[in-house]
Chains A and B, each alone.
Chain A
Amino acid sequence: MSTQTLAPADLRFHPLRDSATMLRRNLKRMLRYPSMTVLLIGMPVVFLLLFVYVFGGTLGAGLGGGGGGGGRDTYANYVTPAIILMTIASVVQGTAISIAMDMAEGIITRFRTMHIARVSVLTGHVLGSVIQGMIALAAVIGVALLVGFRPDAGLGGWLLTAGFLVIVTFSLVWLCVALGQVSGTVETASNAPMPLILLPFLSSGFVPTDSMPAGLRWFAEHQPFTPIIETLRGLLMGTPIGNDWWIALLWCAAMALGGYLWSKKLFNRESAS
């Protein structure tokens, strides 16, 4: 075919620039639709207040061995890592919803017919959600500090915590980018990540696993959120981390890779009908 008109330069992809463009788009959408972010932050804050003020006194007393006689303040320290994880779960639920909203609009179909680095549509969402997650985490940790959360982490501990939270958010976001695509409708997309909201309850996040019946305890100790919460607790409160940090990172790597590959496959599948 000697009559083709495109120069090789026309066919070059610009994944970084396209991802930056898509990130700007998603951040701008978040600003235009702030109620979503408020809602995503509100959920974990409500749970934090509920657990500290309603259940905190009793649950804190039940923690026993922990320092400070075990009361509401002890429980605030115990439960905050779980609430932090719940914040991330809430934000990634938002990711699934906004991906599903995007898919329902024609603009994604337009992106598919354009000569752009396809993955940028997804990476734009991922980076946007990670940034949104960090804002939400800052807000929720701020509230936790107000209601009695007293971490003993130094600057180093906080930096490690921040890095760890970025990794956890990043991997759960990729999972939800896939869930948002597979859902088909916005309604389904808001339900699909439900397990992520519920899993913290079946972990060491709210009560120690050794207070649970045998079967549940086995599940709680082997599901991904327990090592993640224990690592967070260790980083913030100075409790022993042991093997939990690398088990947590392994889970994150698996979720990120799995989510990425699944998302990519879903995005490249041909549109139905």
Chain B
Amino acid sequence: MTSTSSRPAIAVTGLRKSFGDHVVLDGIDLNVPAGTVFSLLGANGAGKTTTVKILSTLSRADAGEARVAGYDVAREPDAVRASIGVTGQFSAVDKLFTGEENLRLMADLHQLGRAEGRRRIARLLDQFGLTDAARKPSSAYSGGMMRRLDLAMTLMGSPEVIFLDEPTTGLDPRSRRDMWQIVRDLVADGVTIFLTTQYLDEADELADRIAVLDGGRVVAEGTAEELKRRIPGGHVRLKFAGPEGVDAALGVLGQASRDNDALSLRVPSDGSLRSLKTLIDRLDERAIEVDELSVHTPDLDDVFLALTDEKVTVR
């Protein structure tokens, strides 16, 4: 579908935008290699949608440079539009039309011939599980179906870069998982995805790289693993059959603390094999029976809260 060259799909330097006195983007830099999923993570009002609007030519930056698919968004908006697809937070679907008619509209606007258009409509309907609902008015679609139709419409033009602005906000868990699978399939086809989300598990699940946006700045960037490593807070959780086990273990393991549940202990640990072996050896020496042992590395929630917490307390 796309040429996998060394050029980044999206390159942003020093992007700034304010509305009046309110600074929304305070100089952000981003680099998204082609064929990857990049996730912009942030709370409501962090500047995610503004970033998408600028990159998709809907809005102009006050300063900074942004190139999408190799084209400058300010100077070559036509070429950018020809290279991208955007699925926003609010469904961009004609609600008086059926699913099929909505796709037909997109096919016509992309100047696809009648036969080619019909072929692609059938394929997209099938790929997105909408074949049965194709002739129903889209106003009767469920939230998940509407979002899938929305994305199918975006794909009609075979975009090289796809912007998904909070694609699963308001969807039920099942529809979210469907959407995730669709995103994975797209990436497998070589498309670049720029995803904004406020859900950490979504970024963790899908993104190759994550940038955490807070107060108009990128406060952290890296893979999910890299971000997690920045935050201490890993621990081992031990579960015992009875209170004697808990007491015995507390005697042996100095740093252990009781977990919420009376029969469990939390022991700080970096999760490495060596530290686990030491821990198990100590328990073994005293013949303390452990029912269950689980290792917890910090999840993105910990990272996100740690990275964005300061700001909240300052305010």
Where the two chains meet, the residues of A that have a C-beta atom closer than 8 Å to any C-beta of B are 1, 3-6, 10-11, 14, 17-18, 21, 24-25, 28-29, 32-33, 105-107, 109-116, 270-273
Q: Is the CB of A28 within 8 A of B58?
A: no
Q: Is the CB of B90 within 8 A of A106?
A: yes
| Bound form: Cα–Cα A259–B70 in Å | 37
Task: Report if B3 contacts A (CB, 8 A).
Answer: yes
Question: How many residues of chain B get a CB closer than 8 Å to chain A's CBs?
Answer: 42
| Bound form: Cα–Cα A107–B71 in Å | 24
Contacts of A17 in B (CB 8 A): 108, 111
Q: Is the CB of B7 within 8 A of A110?
A: no
Known: A10-B82, A105-B95, A113-B56. 11 other contacts (CB 8 A): A5-B3, A11-B82, A17-B111, A21-B108, A106-B90, A109-B86, A112-B57, A113-B57, A114-B81, A115-B157, A272-B19
| Bound form: Cα–Cα A4–B9 in Å | 10
Q: Is the CB of B109 within 8 A of A106?
A: no
A-B contact count (CB 8 A): 97
B78-99 residues with Cβ-Cβ distance < 8 A to A are 78-79, 81-86, 88, 90-97
> Which one of A5, A29, A112, A273 lies within 8 Å of B70 (CB-CB)?
A5
Per DSSP, chain B at the interface is: loop
Where the two chains meet, the residues of B that have a C-beta atom closer than 8 Å to any C-beta of A are 2-3, 5-7, 19, 53, 56-60, 69-71, 78-79, 81-86, 88, 90-97, 101, 105, 108-109, 111, 137, 153-154, 157, 160
Contacts of B97 in A (CB 8 A): 25, 28-29, 32
| Bound form: Cα–Cα A21–B108 in Å | 7
| Bound form: Cα–Cα A232–B71 in Å | 54
> Which one of B59, B78, B111, B137 lies within 8 Å of A270 (CB-CB)?
B59
| Bound form: Cα–Cα A151–B91 in Å | 51
Contacts of B88 in A (CB 8 A): 106, 109-110
Contacts of B3 in A (CB 8 A): 3, 5
What's the minimum C-beta distance from A6 to chain B, rounded to whole angstroms? 6
